[in-house]
């Protein structure tokens, strides 16, 4: 074989190998990266309401002990920055914003450094410790849901002043709205403090809370929201803090307490019925009001051991039994790899679990945003 033929053969082989490599790269799925949706949609912004499951740092700007703007919170966030998110990294609302191609992270509305572009593409009004029951946010002096709705009205005024009536209305109508609250009403308020238990039986408290939630959602609708995703309650009996506070032997027996999870299942069923009625009553105006099932994926993680997490009954921070907010602080020991833990602290999921929750509700999001 001549030298020229050898070189030609090597070139052919190299081209072939490069071709195979390109195929492998194009087919490979990126790890730990949310792929942007390819669906046709015109979502303008992501607007978020609720509690610590969707607060990216609003509590940093109010006088409350319920903050997460210090280490080890944010350990796996960009530049290991503690932003006020009650987890090690991203929240589900951040992941949804990335999936929609809107922005990398949803900032807190109360951040004074927000630009007009930040406002145009969406913010979170959520406040850790809040709930639908007016009593719940007073316990920790955080932002009630009605006040979050007032902030939204203020937000609309700011948009209109900067962009004009037509452009502001377009952004409001084309935004996706995410609402996540209710756990604090039961865990922090009803089951822990005596006030509401003296006033309401559990079924009547559920009715009371449902009316408050639906009133809030109708208020959001009246302000122009037309694509609303509402998260149900998680399996509350599987939260580490609930197991610690209400188990007979919380150290040796770390199993989920079904009584508390059954309350969540009942309430979620009521919520789905309420949302269906609300959708029917407002159908003539267009829009979609949808239920996000957060119960099933978290239950699969904790009780079903479906995703192979190393630890599902303790938080990564401290002992994992009770630590949250200021009890999870720079002096706390933390687990070496939060991605192997279902919970970051005794209440809040890790970023890995938020990704699983996102993947579970992704088909619903795709339905919501279809033109």
Could you give the residue numbers annotated as active site? 52, 345, 348
CA distance 155 to 153: 5
Going by the DSSP 8-state scheme, the letter that residue 310 receives in this structure is S
- The pair phi, psi for residue 229, each rounded to 5°, is -110, 125
Half-sphere exposure of 163 (CA within 13 A, CB side): 20
Nearest CA to 122 among 111, 106, 98, 110?
106
* Alpha carbon distance, N-terminus to C-terminus of the chain: 62
CA distance 295 to 357: 9
CA distance 51 to 128: 4
Residues 175 and 43 sit within 8 Å (Cβ to Cβ): yes
- The pair phi, psi for residue 286, each rounded to 5°, is 75, -175
CA distance 331 to 318: 9
CA distance 336 to 24: 32
């Amino acid at each position: 074989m001549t030298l020229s033929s050898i070189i030609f053969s090597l070139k052919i082989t190299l081209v072939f190998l490069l071709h195979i490599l390109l195929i492998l790269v194009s087919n490979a799925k990126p790890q730990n990266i949310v792929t942007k949706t390819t669906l046709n949609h015109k979502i303008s912004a992501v607007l978020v309401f609720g509690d610590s499951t969707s607060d990216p740092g609003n509590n940093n700007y109010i006088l409350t002990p319920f903050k997460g703007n210090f280490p080890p919170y944010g350990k796996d966030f960009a530049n290991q920055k503690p932003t006020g998110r009650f987890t090690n990294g991203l929240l589900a609302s951040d992941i949804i914003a990335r999936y929609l191609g809107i922005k990398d992270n949803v900032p807190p509305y109360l951040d004074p450094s927000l630009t007009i572009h930040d406002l145009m593409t969406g913010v979170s009004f959520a406040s850790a410790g809040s709930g639908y029951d007016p009593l719940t946010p007073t316990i920790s002096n955080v932002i009630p849901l009605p006040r979050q709705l007032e902030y939204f009205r203020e937000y609309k005024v700011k948009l209109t002043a900067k962009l004009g009536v037509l452009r502001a209305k377009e952004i409001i109508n084309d935004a996706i709205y995410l609402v996540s609250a209710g756990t604090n009403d039961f865990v922090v308020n009803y089951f822990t403090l005596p006030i509401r238990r003296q006033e309401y039986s559990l079924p009547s408290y559920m009715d009371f809370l449902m009316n408050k939630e639906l009133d809030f959602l109708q208020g959001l609708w009246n302000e122009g929201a037309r694509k609303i995703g509402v998260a149900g309650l998680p399996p509350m009996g599987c939260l580490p803090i609930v197991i610690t506070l209400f188990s007979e032997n919380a150290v040796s027996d770390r199993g989920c307490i079904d009584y508390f999870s059954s309350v969540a299942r009942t309430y979620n069923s009521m919520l789905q019925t309420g949302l269906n009625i609300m959708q029917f009553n407002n159908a003539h105006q267009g829009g979609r009001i949808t239920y996000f099932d957060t119960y099933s994926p978290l239950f699969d993680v904790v009780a079903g051991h479906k995703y192979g997490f190393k630890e599902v009954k303790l938080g990564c921070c401290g002992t994992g039994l009770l630590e949250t907010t200021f009890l999870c602080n720079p002096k706390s020991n933390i687990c070496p790899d939060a991605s192997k833990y279902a919970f970051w602290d005794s209440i809040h999921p890790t970023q890995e679990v938020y990704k699983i929750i996102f993947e579970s509700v992704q088909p619903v999001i795709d339905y919501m945003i279809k033109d």
